[in-house]
Amino acid sequence: MWFAALLAGCSGSSGPTAADPVGPPAPIVAPAPPVVPEGVDVVFVVLDTLRADALTQYGAARPTSPNLSDFVRTATRFDAAYAPAPWTVPSTATILTGLHPLRHGMRHVGDVMPATIETLAERLAGAGWRTAAYSHNTNVSKKTGYDQGFQSFTSTDGDIFAYPNAGVLRKEVGAWFTQVGAARSFLYLQPMNCHGPYRVPKSRSATLLGRSPSRAFAYYQGPMRAILRKGDLSARAQVNARYTASLREQYDTAVRYATDEVGKLFADLEARGRYDNALIVLTADHGEELFDHGGFSHGYSLHDELLHVPLWVKLPGQRRASIVGDTVSLADLVPTVLDALAVPIVAPLGAPPPLDGRSLTPLLRGEPLPARPLLFDVDWKRRAVAQGVQDGAWKLIDIRQNYEGLSDVTRLYDHAADPDEQHDLSEAQPAKVAELQVLLTTLAKAATGEEKGALQNVLSEMDQAQLEALGYLE
């Protein structure tokens, strides 16, 4: 019934609307009074490192996600959802704030979320939700300020590759609901099994293939290590079909395990009577390169396999599936959720637009939204320092430097004809390159705004040394 009300256009929209990010600040619309029914839980499941095309629903040939089938029948799938950055720190901060990485400033390992930023958890806690997060990614921790607004924040520390299995989340979520009872909750869950080394419990390693995946590929060993850690591009010649098939088997097996656990988690919600009325977001912070462009892992490029993420949004009371083809950003999630729940976004008069994303509720209602270009950013020395822009069919990537030794290189792709971005058209289409470079500069300038000075890295040198020891700084 709640979904029906939204369909009828009674959502009390107060988001930043469809403002062009290049243009002047959006007018602040007077907030509608909250009309959220009791017991509306908000559940975010962010599957770390899950590229969209790894899921059956997004075209994967293997049955990697059959246990999402009940969920997807009651949710809206976005076929062109994009992360603003190809790795955890900036992208997760965008999911939690609705701001672009150039504005929230979380762009490097160890960056700490500025206290001046208002997170989704803070906004929902302020509107009466109980808030809890369970992060299995050591980068998304209290130490780096992602706990802002969460009354309970459970994260793992230590070796980023020794993460817990997604299965433990069911117990943690169960314990949380037992503790809070009927109170409405915002739950943020970030399991890590799709992240290297693609860990899967032994008892589940044969679920997808009928056998355990081949071990010809070993994460950050052999050619992968030589290419990424030593910059030895000649090691690409050692990457044969057996190696990439093994990589794919390991990754897909991990995806199957992770999505099986998410399916069980949603079944638990159903058993508790909390599913139907919940607002659920299922997505990923970024994808994973599986040698698509001669590399691995993530953070090393701005190609589609790292930025195109799966996204489903299930509104409270939604009981049917729909599909949206429009290009959307993870920055849109916060305004969408706040709009759907009628939680106002307040900003001082004359302030810049409070959020970079925009509410997708029109698309959820089947109504159009004007297309918007997307700005991508990565600033990870020794992996990639680059920015990119996607505008309709066109995508431009400006590489300042990267692990391949490239510097000041521009690439242009026709995303419609070449979605895998294999054919660089920058030399053939100089006018398009020039046009998109102007767009990129304009978007980056708008996103940076006046906030820049407030953003700083406050981790101590000791923390930096610890992160380096864990292999995250190199």
Contacts with Zn ion by CB under 5 A lie at 48, 88, 285
Query: Do 459 and 145 meet the contact criterion of CB atoms below 8 Å apart?
Result: no
Please report, to the nearest 10 degrees, the dihedral formed by the alpha carbons of residues 211, 215, 218, 222 taken in order.
-160
378 - beta bridge partners?
A: 386
The secondary element (H helix, E strand) that includes residue 402 is: strand 394-402
d(CA 100, CA 114): 14
Nearest approach, Cβ of residue 363 and Zn ion (Å): 25
Residue 18 has which token pair?
A: 């469809």
Distance of alpha carbon 324 from alpha carbon 178, whole angstroms: 36
Instruction: Write the single-letter amino acid at 63.
Output: P
For 302, list phi and psi in degrees, rounded to 5: -115, 30
Return the half-sphere exposure (C-beta side, CA atoms, 13 A cut-off) of residue 348. 2
Handedness of CA 96, 97, 102, 108 (dihedral sign): negative
Determine the residue with CB nearest Zn ion. Answer: 88
Are 104 and 84 in contact, with CB atoms under 8 Å apart?
Answer: no
User: Closer to Zn ion at the Cβ: 48 or 147?
Assistant: 48
- Write out the two tokens for 129: 């939700």
38, 20, 37, 19: which is closest to 28 by C-alpha? 19
Phi and psi angles of residue 453, each rounded to the nearest 5 degrees, phi first: -60, -25
Amino acid 437 reads Q
Q: In which region does residue 237 sit, left (phi positive, over 0), alpha (psi from -120 to 50) or beta (all else)?
A: alpha
Residue number, 48 or 289, with CB nearest to Zn ion: 48
Compute the distance between CA of residue 46 and CA of residue 266 in angstroms, rounded to an integer: 14
Question: What one-character-per-residue DSSP string does 61-119 give?
Answer: SS---GGGHHHHTTSEEEEEEE-SSSSHHHHHHHHHHS--HHHH---STT----TTSPP
271: number of Cβ within 10 Å? 10
> Which residue type is seen at 173?
V
Of the candidates 41, 101, 117, 1, the residue with the CA atom closest to the CA atom of residue 275:
41
* Residue pair 313/280 in contact by the 8 Å Cβ criterion: yes
In contact, 44 and 352? CB cutoff 8 Å = no
Question: Nearest distance from residue 118's CB to Zn ion, in Å?
Answer: 23
Residues 8 and 429: their CA atoms lie apart, in Å, by 45
